[in-house]
Chains A and B, each alone.
Chain A
Amino acid sequence: MHGIVVVGASAAGLAAAETLRREGYAGPLTLVGDEPHAPYDRPPLSKQILSGEWRPDRLPLRTPADLAALDLDLRLGGAATGLQLGERTVRLADGTTLSYDGLILATGVRPRRLPGEGAHVLRTLDDALTLRDRLGPGRRLVVVGAGFLGAEAAAVARRLGTEVILLEPAPVPLAHAVGAEVGRMLARVHLDEGVDLRCGTGVTEVTEDGVLLASGEVVEADEVLVAIGSVPNTAWLDGSGLAVADGVVCDVYGEAARNVYAAGDVARWHNPLFGTSMRIEHRTHAAEMGMAVARNLLAPEARKPFAPVPYFWSDQYGMKVQAYGFLRGHDEVAVVEGDLAERRFVALYRAGERVSGVLAVGMPPKAIRGWRQAVATGAGWHETVSPGALPVVRP
Chain B
Amino acid sequence: MKVELEADKCVASGQCVLAAMDVFDQDDDGIAILLEDRPAPELLDDVKEAIAVCPAAAIRLVEQ
Chain A residues with a Cβ under 8 A of chain B: 11, 15, 18-19, 22, 41, 43, 58, 61-62, 283-284, 287-288, 291, 311, 313, 315, 320, 322, 364-366, 368-369
CB-nearest residue of chain B to A287:
B53
Are A313 and B11 in contact, CB atoms less than 8 angstroms apart?
yes
Chain B 6-22, CB-CB to A under 8 Å as 1, else 0, gives 00010111110110000
The reply to whether B12 and A365 form a contact with Cβ atoms under 8 Å apart is: yes
Question: Are B57 and A41 in contact, with the CB atoms below 8 A?
Answer: yes
Asked whether B30 lies within 8 Å of A283 as measured between CB atoms, the reply is: no
Q: How far is the CB of B58 from chain A (nearest CB, A)?
A: 10
Query: A291 touching B53 by the CB < 8 A rule?
Result: yes
Which one of B13, B15, B52, B57 has the highest number of Cβ atoms from chain A below 10 Å of its Cβ? B57
CA distance A55 to B35 in the complex (A): 30
Q: Write 19 A-B pairs (CB below 8 A) sorted by A numbering.
A: A11-B55, A19-B52, A41-B56, A43-B55, A58-B9, A283-B55, A284-B55, A288-B53, A291-B53, A313-B11, A322-B12, A322-B30, A364-B26, A364-B29, A365-B12, A365-B14, A365-B26, A368-B14, A369-B18
B9 touches A369 (CB 8 A): no
Known: A311-B15, A315-B11, A366-B26. 20 other contacts (CB 8 A): A15-B52, A22-B48, A22-B52, A41-B55, A41-B56, A61-B57, A62-B57, A284-B13, A284-B55, A287-B54, A287-B55, A291-B49, A313-B11, A364-B29, A364-B30, A365-B12, A365-B14, A365-B17, A365-B26, A368-B14
CB contact between A284 and one of B17, B30, B48, B53 (< 8 Å): that residue: B53
How far apart are A53's CB and chain B's nearest CB, in angstroms?
A: 11
- Residues on the A chain within 8 Å of B17, using CB: 365, 369
Q: When A58-B9, A284-B13, A313-B13 are in contact, do A320 and B30 touch as well, CB less than 8 Å?
A: yes
- The winner among A284, A287, A311, A368 for most chain B CB atoms within 10 A is A284
A contacts with B: majority SS? helix
A364-B52 in contact given A62-B57, A311-B13 (Cβ < 8 Å): no
Are A287 and B28 in contact, CB atoms less than 8 angstroms apart?
Answer: no
Residues of B close to A320: CB separation below 8 A: 12, 30
> How far, in Å, is B3 (CB) from chain A's closest CB?
15
A365 touches which of B9, B30, B52, B55 (Cβ 8 Å): B30
Which B residues are CB-close (under 8 A) to A291? Answer: 49, 52-53
The answer to whether A313 touches B15, judged by C-beta atoms less than 8 angstroms apart, is: no
Determine the chain B residues whose CB is within 8 A of the CB of A322 once the complex forms.
12-13, 30
Closest CB-CB distance, A57 to chain B, in whole Å?
13
Give A291's nearest chain B residue, CB to CB.
B52
- Distance in Å from the Cβ of B56 to the closest Cβ of chain A? 7
Task: Kindly provide the distance from the CB of B24 to the nearest chain A CB, expressed in whole angstroms.
Answer: 11
From residue A341, how far is it (CB to closest CB) to chain B in Å?
21
A-B pairs with lowest CB-CB distance, top 8: A283-B55, A365-B26, A364-B28, A365-B30, A284-B55, A61-B57, A365-B14, A287-B53
Contact string against A for B residues 39-64, beta-carbon threshold 8 Å, 1 for contact and 0 otherwise: 00000000011001111110000000
Neighbouring B residues of A19 by C-beta, 8 Å: 52
Give CA–CA (A364, B52) in the complex, Å. Answer: 24
Chain B, Cβ-Cβ closest to A367: B28
Determine which residue in A15, A62, A287, A368 has the highest number of CB atoms from chain B within 10 A of its CB, and name it: A287
Alpha-carbon gap, A19 to B26, bound state (A): 25
CA–CA, A18 and B48, complex, Å: 10
> A15–B15 Cα gap in the complex (Å)?
14
What residues on A are CB-neighbors of B29 within 8 Å?
Answer: 364
Residue of A nearest to B31 (CB): A365
- Report Cα–Cα, A43/B57, bound state, in Å: 12
Chain A residue with Cβ nearest B26: A365
Give bound CA distance, A368 to B11, whole Å.
15
A180, B9: Cα distance in complex, Å: 32
Residue of A nearest to B30 (CB): A365
User: In the complex where A365-B26, A369-B14 touch, is A287 in contact with B52 (Cβ < 8 A)?
Assistant: yes
**With a CB–CB cut-off of 8 A, which chain B residues contact A284?**
13, 15, 53, 55
Task: Given the known inter-chain contacts A287-B52, A365-B26, A369-B17, please indicate yes or no for A313 contacting B12, CB distance below 8 A.
Answer: yes
Bound complex: CA A11 to CA B49 (Å)? 14
